[in-house]
Structure 1
Amino acid sequence: MLVNTGSKRLMEISIRNKESKLLKSGAMVAYTGEHTGRSPNAKRIVKDSYTADKIDWENNEAISEEEFQRQLDRFLWFRDEAKRIYKKDIYLQEVYAVRDTEHSLAADIYTEYAKHSMFVRNMFVPDRDIDTELKYTLYQFPSLSEEPMVLVSITKKIILISGTLYSGEIKKSIFTVLNYHFPEKNYLPMHCSVNVDKDGENPAIFFGLSGTGKTTLSSEEGRILIGDDEHGWTDDGLTNFENGCYAKTINLSKELEPQIWSACQKPGAILENVVIKDGIPDFDDPKHTQNGRASYPASFIDGADEKGYVKKHPKNIIMLTCDAFGVLPPVMKLDKEEAVKQFLLGYTAKVAGTENGVTEPVATFSHCFGAPFMPLPGKRYAEILKEKIEKHDVQCWLVNTGWTGGGYGVGKRMSISVTRNIINKIHDGSLAEAKTFKHKYTGFSIPDVKEDVIPSNILKPELGWKDKSEYESSVSDLIFMLNEEAKKY
């Protein structure tokens, strides 16, 4: 067994074993075969006397203690016998998640392949040297199952993953257990990105599902990145759960996303399911999947925060939605009740490629902007959010990064330059100071800004549609869906 092997050595082993290929830049590329995204039906949580009354079983599938133990026995056998029987090395990384070590989770992560061990070193803090009461063991042995399988025992603090080479299952399973444990202390676990200004002030939270812009909008040159996907809001402030980024790469360009593009070129970065031509990544080619990814330490982003946490509370919460209908304004100001409602609704679109079988945007609702990773009832997380918004007087916004000028297939995706300008105006406080007006069709409050800030045909989406009656019909459909979903809460 190879224990805490460094990334450079793991890259050499991975390339030697033909798990991956070296690129001209020094980064490496690997492919995951059939499963190029998270497998949404693979996860099961053990239902036992400890979890029976705590887990939200309407949104989480159960597995019996007996079946979990049967699978665990297989995994332990493989861990101990793989070298002797299959001539395979097993890799162990002793890492921790949650950058603020006052709140960390220790994890011993065993993998069958060197590339996944390297991924673990990218995504979590390697070479663990901290003491923490909370510790999990994760076994990721893809060859043990023909079908994807992610099994979690909260009681035993063990996670089993098999049947898929997709690296994201590792990070999302750790996220899931943190989402269970953080609320025990009335802390809020969040599927979000976080950044601060150059002085370490003015923290902002970006909620959103994969593909809505969390990574892109939080990785900007004028601000310091705390993290791009998973965080906790404690009594002290905001902390990244991870040590790295797992960014979507489809249509990635040096001009529009220079920080992420640069990170993908550095030795130690792992590109996953990205097309390579003459040793150079072609991020525009979706031949393998729309869900191409890049894993790299957060330090690869110029100016990223070295600590990975900030002992300050957010000034702004930005909820990102990818509106596939093209009817929502680009920015909406929310009061605390509206913010909690939108948090529980989690309206967006499943963006092509983020889950197996999704090939075009589909309107969906995912409470807390991350229902698949939330083991507790959504209302529990919403209670904590409301308390924190009230206590720290946080400004809240809903920002649409989806379609404008028509729905998917007719309109076009919101320009990233328009969205970045909106985000900048949120950061500098000018949108909070602007007067608002109530949008006739959606009922949301919209900042009343000039044409040079947000063009009127985008600010008022009905003006961008060729047929106003079609807009009215589409917006009516969406509002009905929102109201029906809200009845659940």
Structure 2
Amino acid sequence: MQEHGIKSKNGFEHLGLKPAVVKWNLGPAECTQEVLSRGEGVLTDRGSVMVDTGKFTGRSPKDKYTVEDAQTKDSVWWGKINQPISEEKFQMLRTKLIASFEGETMYVRDMYAGADPNYRLNVRAYNTIAWQHMFTYNMFIRPLKEELENFEANWTILCNPKFEVENYEELGMNGKNFAIVNMTTRELIIGGTAYAGEMKKGIFSVLNYVLPHDHKVLSMHCSANEGKEGDTAIFFGLSGTGKTTLSADPNRALIGDDEHGWTENTIFNFEGGCYAKSVDLTEDKEPDIWKAVRFGAIEENTRFFEGTHTIDYENTSVTENIRVSYPVHFIENAKEVSIGAVPKNIFFLTFDAFGVIPPISRLSKGQAMFHFISGYTSKVAGTEMGITEPTPTFSACFGAAFMPLHPAEYAELLGKKMDEQNVNVWMINTGLNGTGSRMKLKETRAMITAALEGKLDNVEFIQHPEFGFEVPSTCEGVTTELLNPRNTWASEEAYTEACNKLVELFNKNFVQFEEGSSQEIMAGAPKVLAD
């Protein structure tokens, strides 16, 4: 067996792996050379490498499992999102997966998950694909050379996309591919899929269990930035709400793009990189992401303009989910150490296609917990085939697919921190008003800036009768009439009907969370208007 690269102090003999060649902790140039020489990807005219992820161009939630054992049996919120698998089946699959590495070139990466050393995981990833090894360099936190020499992993990722489960039906699984977390043995095993996001989100799910359950640290699917005075802001939001755009503020430093923890004293990034959607990417729309596409970046499932090595970001012939990964320091205003102070302001971003949620409103503790659990946005007609009217989308804690615990546990932690640290929580509607027009980005930025700079502290607030939010009567840079969505509707009757419909959808969605939720959370629910 040949070994290359910066090898850590302790090896992998205990796993029983028998690869032909082992390459440890390769840097971007070495990774790029491996990707190209092995025919795994091609070089673009901007120096990034373009790769295909194969059959899977996104995560496969139905093939994600958690081992049910003495540790997880009564703590994980089992259901469609958190599917159980037995210890026996896990061990059988693990043994076969380890055997599949025999004779392969194996890439090993040592890395951290979590910028705060008090809570981070020491993760070692084993891959059979060079570009996935490069992905782990981009997306996780990179130890210093001297740290690598004495690195001891406390979590392990084993990933071989070529290994598939032929008898999956006999095992009660949904397909030949899988991503399985074992909280007791501290392992994530992945087979049958080359989509690298399974590694990123698998470890995120682990942190979403370990941090709240073991340390009472709130784990969050959000972006975070920091002002020049050291004030931290957090942005939650599902796809299409503007989370990436609004958190990328040239006047504020980026702490992180996607995943964070909230301790007694800090907000810290889980990652060392960004994994951005790149469909329709242009320099004008997303200048920070555009500049980050350079040597060291990986572009997934994109295509070139014919006869060139220039990527056509409008070409979604492979998938709508085209992405680019790169280290966070590729963003010019990113913090060198991705840690900030506890937040003063939290923003829940929603695209409300019903036109009834105010463009900005302040939430009470109960309302914040309820809407955190709800994680609401909506799709609009024309965005997908078959959608002819506003279609609501709810994702608990703005990241349901990655939350192993009951959503109320995360919501209660949020409420506790609001009390302890005097945090403002704002709902921002980046969607439609009663005229069917979308809020202008300029006005949305003005509202967020006003909240961040304390300009709303002394204005008059009016209670929204349906949702109970506090709505400012004025806001610098925003047309006053727009602040109350009722003013934008031509018909009072039509407004009431639309509002009641949305309220009913909220309450219907919340039924699944009632068991396990406190009275304070349930009291934050909106109320149906009288006719």
Q: Match for residue 47 of structure 1?
A: 68
Q: Secondary structure at the match of 1:140?
A: strand
Q: Match for residue 98 of structure 1?
A: 114
Are residues 1:302 and 2:344 paired? Answer: no
Which of 57, 61, 73 is residue 95 of structure 2 equivalent to?
Answer: 73
Change (3 A) 1:242 1:289: same
Q: Match for residue 479 of structure 1?
A: 503
Distance in 2 between the 1:470 and 1:290 partners? Answer: 35
Shift of 1:457: 6.1
Runs of 5+ consecutive residues of structure 1 not aligned to the other structure: 84-88
Change (3 A) 1:416 1:269: farther
Q: Superposed, which structure 2 residues align to 1:163-242 within 5 Å? A: 163-183=192-212, 184-199=214-229, 201-242=230-271
Q: Match for residue 416 of structure 1?
A: 441
Query: 1:138, 1:158 within 8 Å by CA — same for their partners in 2?
Result: yes
Which of 356, 359, 362 is residue 330 of structure 1 equivalent to?
Answer: 359
Number of residue-to-residue matches in the alignment? 473
Runs of 5+ consecutive residues of structure 2 not aligned to the other structure: 1-21, 165-174, 518-531
What letter matches 2:484 in structure 1? K
Are residues 1:446 and 2:471 paired? Answer: yes
Change (3 A) 1:449 1:292: farther
Query: 2:353, 2:379 within 8 Å by CA — same for their partners in 1?
Result: no
Change (3 A) 1:462 1:175: same
Change (3 A) 1:205 1:257: same
Distance in 1 between the 2:191 and 2:387 partners? Answer: 22
TM value normalised by structure 2: 0.82
Aligned-CA RMSD value: 2.8
1:213-246: CA deviation from partner (whole Å, max 9, x where unpaired): 3322222211000101101011221110000111
Q: Match for residue 62 of structure 1?
A: 84
Distance in 2 between the 1:341 and 1:479 partners? Answer: 13
Which of 155, 161, 186 is residue 142 of structure 1 equivalent to?
Answer: 161
Shift of 1:113: 1.1
Query: 2:35, 2:41 within 8 Å by CA — same for their partners in 1?
Result: yes
Distance in 1 between the 2:419 and 2:251 partners? Answer: 28
Are residues 1:428 and 2:428 paired? Answer: no
Query: 2:353, 2:380 within 8 Å by CA — same for their partners in 1?
Result: no
Q: Match for residue 86 of structure 1?
A: none
Are residues 1:3 and 2:24 paired? Answer: yes
Deviates more, 1:336-345 or 1:168-177: 336-345
Distance in 1 between the 2:125 and 2:152 partners? Answer: 17
Query: 2:362, 2:470 within 8 Å by CA — same for their partners in 1?
Result: yes
For the pair shown, which has the larger CA radius of gyration, 1 or 2?
A: 2
Distance in 2 between the 1:97 and 1:208 partners? Answer: 22
Distance in 1 between the 2:462 and 2:151 partners? Answer: 50
Change (3 A) 1:464 1:43: same
Q: Percent identity?
A: 40
Q: Match for residue 271 of structure 1?
A: 299
Shift of 1:288: 2.9
Distance in 1 between the 2:63 and 2:388 partners? Answer: 19
Shift of 1:209: 2.9
Q: Match for residue 460 of structure 1?
A: 484
Which of 186, 189, 193 is residue 160 of structure 1 equivalent to?
Answer: 189
Q: Match for residue 10 of structure 2?
A: none
Query: 2:138, 2:272 within 8 Å by CA — same for their partners in 1?
Result: yes
Q: Match for residue 117 of structure 1?
A: 133
1:88-112: CA deviation from partner (whole Å, max 9, x where unpaired): x221101111011122101111112
Distance in 2 between the 1:467 and 1:244 partners? Answer: 48
1:71-102: CA deviation from partner (whole Å, max 9, x where unpaired): 101111122x142xxxxx22110111101112
1:354-406: CA deviation from partner (whole Å, max 9, x where unpaired): 99x99998422222211211111112112211111101100111112334456
Distance in 2 between the 1:124 and 1:148 partners? Answer: 24
1:105-148: CA deviation from partner (whole Å, max 9, x where unpaired): 01111112111111100011234627899821011211112744
TM value normalised by structure 1: 0.89
